[in-house]
Structure formats: C-alpha cells, structure tokens
Amino acid sequence: MQERLKELQQEAIQKIEQSSSLKELNDIRVAYLGKKGPITEVLRGMGKLSAEERPIMGALANEVREAIATTLEAKQKDLEEAAVLEKLASESIDVTLPGRPVKVGNHHPLTRIIEEIEDLFIGMGYQVAEGPEVEQDYYNFEALNLPKGHPARDMQDSFYITDEILLRTHTSPVQARTMEKNQGKGPIKIICPGKVYRRDNDDATHSHQFMQIEGLVVGENIRMSDLHGTLEIFAKKMFGEDREIRLRPSFFPFTEPSVEMDISCMICGGHGCNVCKKTGWIEILGAGMVHPNVLEMAGYDSKKYTGFAFGMGPERIAMLKYGVDDIRHFYTNDVRFLKQFSKHE
C-alpha cells in the first residue's frame, strides 16, 4: 500500500510537470485528488489495516495528497503566468506611431508680448488702463501738448473722421483720460496697451494699424532716475539679464526731458551686426518726464506732481525677440505663422 501511494505520487507529479494547459492540469487534479481518484481508493482500503498501521498510512496518504496539491498549485501559477505573457505578447502595439493630436490653439504673438509686459508691470504695482480707439482730437493731441498747427503733428499723419474725431495715433490719450479721471490726485501707475492707427502704406516695416503699450507714473517726487531704474528692470526682464541699456535724449511734445532707450543688441551682443545696423544698439522705446503742460491740462499742479511716461511697439519687440522679418505677418494670420508662438520660453 505504501508503495502504491509512492507510485501514485510519482506518477501524478510527473504528469503535472508534463502538462501544458490549465485544462490538462485540472484533469490531473480531478483524476488524482478527486473523490473517485486512486488515493481515495487507497484510503478506502485502510480498514483492512491494523490499528498501529492505520495512522501511519493515513499520515502518508495526506503527505502524498499534499505533495501533489502543492505541485499542482505551482504548476497552475506557472501556466497562468505564461498565459498572461502570451496574451500581452499578442496585444503589443507600435509605440512609434503618432499619438492622437490634442487640438490646442495659442495666443497671437502680439498678445503674448503685451501680456508679458502687462504682467511684468502688474508685478511692480501698475494697473492696466484701456481707452477708445476712436478719439477726440483733444485727447489725442491737444491734451498732450500738441495744439492745432503744432509741427510735431506731422510726425504722425492721422486718419481723421471729422475735424475733431480721429483714429488714435498712439495710446497716450489713455494717459490723458486717466489723469483727468483722477482729478489732480496721485499716485497713478498704469500701463496702457492697445491698437493705434497711422497713415502709412503697409509694407515690411510699416502698418496702418499696429499696437502700442505705454506706461505712466504720476506722483509727488517722481524722478528721472526712477524712470531710468524702471526701464532697466523692464529691459532685463523682457530681453535678458545680460542686456545693457542706453538712454539718449530725444523729443516728444508730451514729455520734457525726453528719452529714447536702446538695448545692447541681442543678436550680436553689442559687437555690431545687420539687425543693429552695426551700432551694437537697438532702439526699443521712447520715454520722458511728463510735460508740465500735460499735467496742468489734466488738472495736476505741476509744482507738486511730476511723472514719467514710456511707450513702445509690441510689433517691434516681437520682431526683435522672435526674429520676425515682416510686420504684415502679424495681420495676415497665416496659421503657419500663428502656431509657432505656442511654445513656452
């Protein structure tokens, strides 16, 4: 009997190890461990054994069952794992095929520049002020120290609608309006972005419609050195920490003294190239101390208040920053152009 059990164990284990499917394995389980299996059979014959032999044989039978069951389990696990692997293998895909595109648009490059400048100045305590694109001659010119017949009006030939109404030629009227609204009180710290219009034929460097962004600070004791410091922060944040700035005297009717700011050329680093016309410097913006006439006209006491203002062209900045070679690209809206401005930098 003992030998029979050993034989069965050996036989079963051998079959288990040779089996190659879960079904086969199940058949072996039923065949050997089932109620009708040979081990049960053997145990049934235990009645014929002596009282001493019976527990020994019982223990042996259990041992054999145990061994077969353990082997069965291990084999089942192996077979299951193999099945999973096989399934996974059959599911494999070509990971180099392109993914499902996510449809995303992006800001127009000019909006991108404007928001960048807005955010920079918001961080310095400025608010964003906006105003009408169709303006009164008064706010566009007169309130900015450009009375009728002033020679500087030639500098910006304008689109008039009536004698007194025109498309604004700069965003400066927003400054005049903001000062007027504040009724002679400070402080004012604003940045004014928007569309402006001038009588220019559209070509690679001119556009009858373009953007401007201006800043204005009015308060007691605002100094030219404050303008200098503010512009330096702007230039370095906008164009890179290694940019140098240079201020040059200039003329605008609404500021006195007036300033133009150059930055060291970002293309050649200041050694001279075609972009900076071999000067090493690139003109970026105009600025100055608010003209006392402008302050007085808006109701400020120019003995008590001073201020500075600056203005620049987002198109020019975008052209320099991204190397865009034709201003018309901004208004043609070729998607091959627009989509290039999605990347974060």
- Our measurement of the distance from residue 176's CA atom to the centroid of its chain's CA atoms, rounded to an integer in Å, reads 35
Q: Name the one range near another protein by CB under 8 A: 24-32, 58-66, 119-127, 169-177.
A: 119-127
Q: Name the one range near another protein by CB under 8 A: 1-9, 39-47, 58-66, 129-137.
A: 129-137
CB of 333 to another protein, least distance (A): 4
Q: Which of residues 260-289 bind another protein (CB under 8 A)?
A: 260, 289
Number of residues that bind another protein (CB under 8 A): 89
Q: Where are the alpha helices (DSSP H) in 240-283?
A: none
CB of 299 to another protein, least distance (A): 18
133 binds another protein (CB under 8 A): yes
95 binds another protein (CB under 8 A): no
- Each residue of 145-178: b (16+ CB within 10 Å) or e? bbeeeeeebeebebeeeeeeebbbbbbbbbbbbb
User: Of 171, 258, 263, 316, which one interacts with another protein (CB under 8 A)?
Assistant: 258
147 binds another protein (CB under 8 A): no
132 binds another protein (CB under 8 A): yes
CB of 89 to another protein, least distance (A): 22
Q: Name the one range near another protein by CB under 8 A: 4-12, 14-22, 28-36, 95-103.
A: 95-103
* Nearest CB to another protein, comparing residues 32 and 126: 126
* Nearest CB to another protein, comparing residues 35 and 343: 343
* Nearest CB to another protein, comparing residues 212 and 230: 230
User: Of 24, 142, 180, 256, which one interacts with another protein (CB under 8 A)?
Assistant: 256
47 binds another protein (CB under 8 A): no
CA nearest to 75, candidates 36, 27, 107: 27
Q: Which of residues 196-255 bind another protein (CB under 8 A)?
A: 197, 199, 201, 208-209, 217, 219-226, 228-230, 232-233, 246-251, 253
User: Of 159, 237, 268, 275, which one interacts with another protein (CB under 8 A)?
Assistant: 159
- Our measurement of the distance from residue 103's CA atom to the centroid of its chain's CA atoms, rounded to an integer in Å, reads 15
CA nearest to 136, candidates 168, 109, 112: 168
CB of 105 to another protein, least distance (A): 4
Give me the 184-203 binding string for another protein, x by CB under 8 A, dash otherwise.
Answer: --xxxx-----x-x-x-x--
What does the alpha-carbon distance between residue 325 and residue 35 come to, in Å, rounded to a whole number?
90
328 binds another protein (CB under 8 A): no
Q: Name the one range near another protein by CB under 8 A: 32-40, 84-92, 132-140, 173-181.
A: 132-140
CB of 323 to another protein, least distance (A): 19
Q: Tell me the CB-side half-sphere exposure of residue 85, using CA atoms within 13 A.
A: 6
Distant-in-sequence, close-in-space partners of 46: CB < 8 Å, separation ≥ 6: 54, 57, 58, 61
296 binds another protein (CB under 8 A): no
134 binds another protein (CB under 8 A): yes
Nearest-10 crossing angle of helices 2-18, 53-90:
0
What does the alpha-carbon distance between residue 216 and residue 90 come to, in Å, rounded to a whole number?
68
What residues are paired with 282 via a beta bridge?
Answer: 263
Token pair in block for residue 95: 């990971």
65 binds another protein (CB under 8 A): no
- Each residue of 179-194: b (16+ CB within 10 Å) or e? beebeeebebbbbbbb
CA triplet 203, 113, 207: central angle to 5 degrees? 15
Strands (E), 64-148: 127-128, 134-136
